[in-house]
Chains A and B, each alone.
Chain A
Amino acid sequence: MGCRNGEGDLLGEVPSAASTIDALLLATVCAVGLPVEVQVKDGSLYTGLFHTASVDDGYGIVLKKARMMKKGRWSSNLGSGAVVDTLVVLSCDLVQLIVKDFVLPTEGITAYSVGDSMREGIDSVDSHWIDASSCNVTGNSEVHELHHVESFTTSNNKHTDLRTPNEIYGEEVQEHSLKMTSPVQEGQVERKAHEQENSCSQIDDEASTTNTVIYEAHQFSPSLNSVDENHADFTSKRVTSGERCRNPVFSSNRQEGFERTNNILRDVLSNDQISTNLTSSSSVASISSSTTTNHSALPNLPASHCSTFTKEFKLNPEAKVFRPSCASARSTLAVIPTAVNTSYASSIPPEVPVAATPSSLEFSSLSNCTPLSAKFVQYSPLVAGQSGVITEYPRPVMGPANARQQLVRVSRPYHPVQSGAAYIHQNSQPVLVGRTGQVVYMHSLPQDPIAGTTVLSQSFPLLRPFQANIPKLQGTPAQSMQFCIPQPLISRGSVQPFVMPSPVQLSPPVPPVRAIAVPGGNGFFGSKFQ
């Protein structure tokens, strides 16, 4: 640790990086959940709950429930007094973080309970730190991969010198997206399919909530209403123009740092929400950019970007609980060429092809699906394979328990996960809608990034689940009646003979009921049960 007595430490004695990092991490972890004040380089002051930090290539932090206390020299899109759900302050903008009434671990050790869980947590922190160190070692390869991706996009467009200031600013925004790209590519091989699915669901989550915002302070652009819109617009420009990030190495490392710290603190704290917000800022913007109108170049989106969308949330394993608007996210990812990246396609098998399928095809598929195939899909998780791709059926457990979910699966055997997830999210969606979203504090770019309205793209995720489910539910009314309606009729007929003997007075009304219910059921449904 970086603790030492003061003998001769004033000058010259440089603590080792590991020890100081440990001390910094220790203090950082102990500050989690505490109200803090953050000063950024324009002088503005923010307060919020300290959530996580990145210690890689600078010290970036993430605040929850942040609001501005003091306005700085530059204008920003975060109004004074407005509460932002998640505020990301990059290391380049951070001046200081003040933790009020902080108790150092040594002093406040009594405040923590001593137990096995504690030691497990410490071990986990250590192990994560080891992983982080290994990431440092392999950082060059990640950078090369990133360069490869970037060069791919650059080769398509040669008008880099003709960039407008907005595009340049968009580059800056895209830089954050790229920061997520490198860790994604890093773990591409070793990542599990369900993790990718989780990341995809997390993207859906963010897309549905449409609350992810890149917070930026601008010297010349006080007119921003939604930074997210700007971000989306810039990112879209970035995608269409294919311009390179000016500093991909730095950006990738920085994002990696965020993600790494998320790894550390997230797994420790198992707070997936935050990491989602942290890493999803650019991805959601990218998704919204794809949904932003009039970008014909989107089909040329490299598969690496697509993989970024789905993999950058690997740290949120619990995000699948929400899995809200998979349909919307997939619709935005419909341009993804599934065959380009085999590992990616195999990891997310049922979703990508479905996303590319128009809604009309989904409707028509209802008639094509036989009840037999539907039942087969329900009880066989391995049936989901499609187009020769080896797929993992991610959620075989979720379906049979829910009757409505079964209906969805019946209607569309090849993407039961999508439908089920979309349906499940409707229940959890109100919770997510209320979130203000993530904000990344950025500034000092002298350009007014007024963007096109991406409100519609943000609102789509909220609507897509309903659009996807309603036709499916409507398409299977007969099947639902087969499963649900006959049961009360049969049970009523079977229960009555046992109940009848005791109350004599009830006998007169019972026969009419029996006469009405049983013949009707036999006439309409009896053929299928006999």
Chain B
Amino acid sequence: MDSGGGEELGVGWFFSFKTTFGEEFEGQIITYDRPTEIVIIQEGTSKPEGRRNVRFLKSTYIKEVTSLRRGDDPLDAKGCLIDLAGLQAREDAALRQAEIEAERIGIGVTSEAQCIFDALSKTLPVRWDKTVIVVMDEVRVSSPYLPENVNGGTPAANERVKKVLELERRRLQARAP
């Protein structure tokens, strides 16, 4: 659809969209903002608690539009109340969670190393120091992450990590085939 053609997308209508990237989906138009050329589309597949995927799609990337049916008003903004503090808290929590998850992902490591890291993290506190897995802040497991690559720490901790690493490797190998 060419947004410059003067047509306006109907708010509340269900359409079948096809983008210029070949993606096809169906959804109801929540609003269309002409200045920004953004169409907000709520996909038809309803999920529990009314959760749906919502797309903010630029209308210039809509290739085909097929009208399906007319629906109810999808957005009644008159009675909308937004808890801004809740939004901020949600974002902060999401950022913290994302940071935690990002720290668990090794950069420049193999998928096997990441699997070992994930396996070790189930039983021991681990973190990445570049490509080295640091367990309990004292024992370092370097590539290729074999038991003989375990260095540092007290003898007890070193042995502990070696043992856990060996078991986890054995478990991962058992899963692989």
Which of B31, B53, B81, B105 is in CB contact (< 8 Å) with A27?
B31
Q: Is the CB of B86 within 8 A of A4?
A: no
Determine whether B117 belongs to the interface, using a CB cutoff of 8 Å to chain A.
Answer: no
Which of A24, A29, A41, A101 is in CB contact (< 8 Å) with B33?
A24
Q: A20-B33, A55-B36, A269-B91 are in contact. Are A83 and B102 (CB under 8 A)?
A: yes
Determine whether B107 belongs to the interface, using a CB cutoff of 8 Å to chain A.
Answer: yes
CB distance from A294 to the nearest CB of B (A): 33
Per-residue contact bits, chain A 2-45, to B (CB 8 Å; 1 contact, 0 not): 11111101111111010011111011111111110001010100
Q: Is the CB of A23 within 8 A of B31?
A: yes
Which of A35, A100, A106, A270 is in CB contact (< 8 Å) with B80?
A106
Q: Is the CB of A82 within 8 A of B107?
A: yes
**Chain A minimum-CB-distance residue to B57:** A96
8 Å CB contacts to B: which residues of A78-127?
81-83, 91, 94-109, 111-115, 117-119, 121-122, 124-125
Q: Which residues of A contact B31 (CB under 8 A)?
A: 1-3, 15, 20, 23-24, 27
Which of A11, A59, A103, A117 is in CB contact (< 8 Å) with B58?
A59
Q: What is the size, in residues, of chain A's interface with B at 8 Å between Cβ atoms?
A: 77
**Chain A minimum-CB-distance residue to B32:** A20
Report the separation of the CA atoms of residues A41 and B19 in the bound assembly, to the nearest whole angstrom.
Answer: 11
Per-residue contact bits, chain B 5-40, to A (CB 8 Å; 1 contact, 0 not): 001101111000001010000000011111111101
Which of B64-72, B130-138, B140-148, B161-169 lies at the binding interface?
Answer: B64-72
Report the separation of the CA atoms of residues A452 and B96 in the bound assembly, to the nearest whole angstrom.
Answer: 35
Determine whether A58 belongs to the interface, using a CB cutoff of 8 Å to chain B.
Answer: yes
Determine whether B171 belongs to the interface, using a CB cutoff of 8 Å to chain A.
Answer: no
Determine whether B160 belongs to the interface, using a CB cutoff of 8 Å to chain A.
Answer: no
Determine whether B94 belongs to the interface, using a CB cutoff of 8 Å to chain A.
Answer: yes
Which of B36, B51, B99, B102 is in CB contact (< 8 Å) with A59?
B36
Q: Is the CB of B56 within 8 A of A27?
A: yes
Report the separation of the CA atoms of residues A23 and B81 in the bound assembly, to the nearest whole angstrom.
Answer: 13
Determine whether B82 belongs to the interface, using a CB cutoff of 8 Å to chain A.
Answer: yes
8 Å CB contacts to B: which residues of A260-306?
268-271
Q: Is the CB of B11 within 8 A of A121?
A: no
**Chain B minimum-CB-distance residue to A29:** B82
CB distance from B63 to the nearest CB of A (A): 12
Report the separation of the CA atoms of residues A133 and B124 in the bound assembly, to the nearest whole angstrom.
Answer: 55
**Chain A minimum-CB-distance residue to B99:** A65
Q: Which residues of A contact B34 (CB under 8 A)?
A: 14-15, 17, 20
Q: Is the CB of B84 within 8 A of A23?
A: no
**Chain B minimum-CB-distance residue to A12:** B8
Q: Which residues of B contact A41 (CB under 8 A)?
A: 61
Q: Which residues of A contact B19 (CB under 8 A)?
A: 95-96
Determine whether A409 belongs to the interface, using a CB cutoff of 8 Å to chain B.
Answer: no
8 Å CB contacts to A: which residues of B81-103?
81-88, 90-95, 98-99, 102
Determine whether A323 belongs to the interface, using a CB cutoff of 8 Å to chain B.
Answer: no
Task: State the majority secondary structure of interface residues on B.
Answer: mixed
Determine whether A319 belongs to the interface, using a CB cutoff of 8 Å to chain B.
Answer: no
Q: Is the CB of A6 within 8 A of B10?
A: yes
Q: Is the CB of B85 within 8 A of A121?
A: yes
Q: Is the CB of B50 within 8 A of A27?
A: no
Which of B50, B61, B72 is in CB contact (< 8 Å) with A108?
B50
Which of A49, A65, A95, A112 is in CB contact (< 8 Å) with B83?
A112
Report the separation of the CA atoms of residues A4 and B103 in the bound assembly, to the nearest whole angstrom.
Answer: 45
Report the separation of the CA atoms of residues A91 and B99 in the bound assembly, to the nearest whole angstrom.
Answer: 27
Q: A14-B8, A27-B31 are in contact. Are A104 and B81 (CB under 8 A)?
A: no
Which of B13, B53, B87, B99 is in CB contact (< 8 Å) with A33?
B87
8 Å CB contacts to B: which residues of A308-344?
none
**Chain B minimum-CB-distance residue to A53:** B56
Q: Is the CB of A106 within 8 A of B79?
A: yes
Which of A5, A12, A102, A121 is in CB contact (< 8 Å) with B53?
A102
Q: Which residues of B contact A105 (CB under 8 A)?
A: 75, 77, 80-82
**Chain A minimum-CB-distance residue to B50:** A107
**Chain A minimum-CB-distance residue to B38:** A59
Q: Is the CB of B40 within 8 A of A23?
A: yes
Q: Which residues of B contact A31 (CB under 8 A)?
A: 54
Report the separation of the CA atoms of residues A113 and B83 in the bound assembly, to the nearest whole angstrom.
Answer: 6
8 Å CB contacts to B: which residues of A126-157?
none
Report the separation of the CA atoms of residues A122 and B34 in the bound assembly, to the nearest whole angstrom.
Answer: 24
Report the separation of the CA atoms of residues A95 and B95 in the bound assembly, to the nearest whole angstrom.
Answer: 24
Please provide the 8 A-B residue pairs with the shortest distance between their CB atoms, ordered closest to farther: A33-B91, A1-B77, A121-B84, A112-B83, A2-B31, A6-B12, A10-B10, A23-B31
- By a beta-carbon cutoff of 8 Å, the part of chain A in contact with chain B is 1-7, 9-15, 17, 20-24, 26-35, 39, 41, 43, 49, 51, 55, 57-59, 64-65, 81-83, 91, 94-109, 111-115, 117-119, 121-122, 124-125, 268-271
- Subset of 5 A-B contacts with CB under 8 Å: A9-B13, A34-B94, A91-B36, A105-B80, A112-B83
Other A-B contacts than A59-B38, A94-B58, 4 sampled, CB-CB below 8 A, are A2-B75, A55-B35, A104-B30, A112-B83
